[in-house]
Amino acid sequence: MEKKKEVKNNTQKVLRLAEVDCPESKQPFGKNAKQFTSAKIFGKQIIFHPVQKDRYGRTVAKIYFDNGKYISEELIKNGLGWWYQKYSKNDNLGDIQSLAKSKKLGLWKDKNPIAPWEWRRKKM
């Protein structure tokens, strides 16, 4: 998922989720990933840990909700995002993705899902 908003002290901050890349909105399951994320964190208190700035200057962060649930992990677990291995050292997320894939959850129902970074490359 590209961007999420965090509300604290009546301020908003745009964040990019760390370690996961969700389908673009026009890709299969793109809207599902956005709805899932919104349902999990909208109106809730979150904790985020900035990891880095991306090439566009956006803050990439690990976002936690509901007493320590990691939103990137939840997306991968439910087949709504790819483990962004290129930018992650968390091999556990790869195991979680393999399990979602074997269960054919979410985007893994498709016979040939296209990773968002490949889809963006083709659209440019």
Per-residue pLDDT tens digits for 82-114: 999 999 999 999 999 999 999 999 999 999 999
121 counts as catalytic: no
Candidate list 2, 19, 58, 73, residue with the active-site label: 58
Q: What DSSP designation does 87 have?
A: G
Geometric angle at alpha carbon 87, from 82 and 93, rounded to 5°: 45
24 counts as catalytic: yes
Q: Where are the domains of the chain?
A: 4-123
pLDDT at residue 124, as a whole number: 60
Q: What are the CA-CA distances from residue 80 to residues 8, 9, 11, 57 (Å)?
A: 27, 30, 28, 25
120 counts as catalytic: no
Read off the amino acid at residue 14.
V
Could you tell me which residues come within 8 angstroms of residue 27 by beta carbon, excluding any fewer than 6 positions away? 114, 116, 119
pLDDT at residue 6, as a whole number: 47
Q: What is the pTM of this model?
A: 0.89
Candidate list 19, 24, 73, 74, residue with the active-site label: 24
Q: Return the CATH fold of 4-123.
A: OB fold (Dihydrolipoamide Acetyltransferase, E2P) (2.40.50)
